[in-house]
Amino acid sequence: KAGVTQTPRYLIKTRGQQVTLSCSPISGHRSVSWYQQTPGQGLQFLFEYFSETQRNKGNFPGRFSGRQFSNSRSEMNVSTLELGDSALYLCASSLAPLEAYNEQFFGPGTRLTVL
């Protein structure tokens, strides 16, 4: 069974631009979560989607948004990029929502660099 895939693996953008990252969960998994990883702040939860609905959201500004499609694939969008948005963005999928007893499987991440 294929793992969680994320595209692209690397991105370079400039301040003010917007970016869209994509995540394909493991087949059969309906929950997708997004995390931001930076050296300073570590791993921080962005949001979780289940059955095309956002179930939970972390403490990030509204410039960070996401969505989930009927095939469970998810995208996250960051508008008006700032230098501080440079990070590794990780996607994780699971069978059930985070509130249930379940394991999350992580993708390799998308490395975003904002210049």
Partner 1 sequence: GDSVTQMEGPVTLSEEAFLTINCTYTATGYPSLFWYVQYPGEGLQLLLKATKADDKGSNKGFEATYRKETTSFHLEKGSVQVSDSAVYFCALKVSGANSKLTFGKGITLSVRP
The region of 12-20, 61-69, 71-79, 99-107 touching partner 1 under the rule CB under 8 A is: 99-107
Q: Is residue 60 within the footprint of partner 1 (CB under 8 A)? A: no
| CA–CA distance, 23 with 109 (Å, rounded to integer) | 9
Smallest separation, CB 78 to partner 1 (Å): 19
Contact by Cβ (8 Å): 81, 114: yes
16/61 with CB nearer partner 1: 61
* DSSP notation for 35-47: EEEETTTEEEEEE
Smallest separation, CB 83 to partner 1 (Å): 21
Contact by Cβ (8 Å): 6, 22: yes
What three-state secondary structure class fits 83? helix
Smallest separation, CB 16 to partner 1 (Å): 29
Contact by Cβ (8 Å): 76, 64: yes
Q: Is residue 104 within the footprint of partner 1 (CB under 8 A)? A: yes
Residues that bind partner 1 (CB under 8 A): 4, 33, 35, 42-45, 48, 55-56, 58, 90, 92, 97-101, 103-109
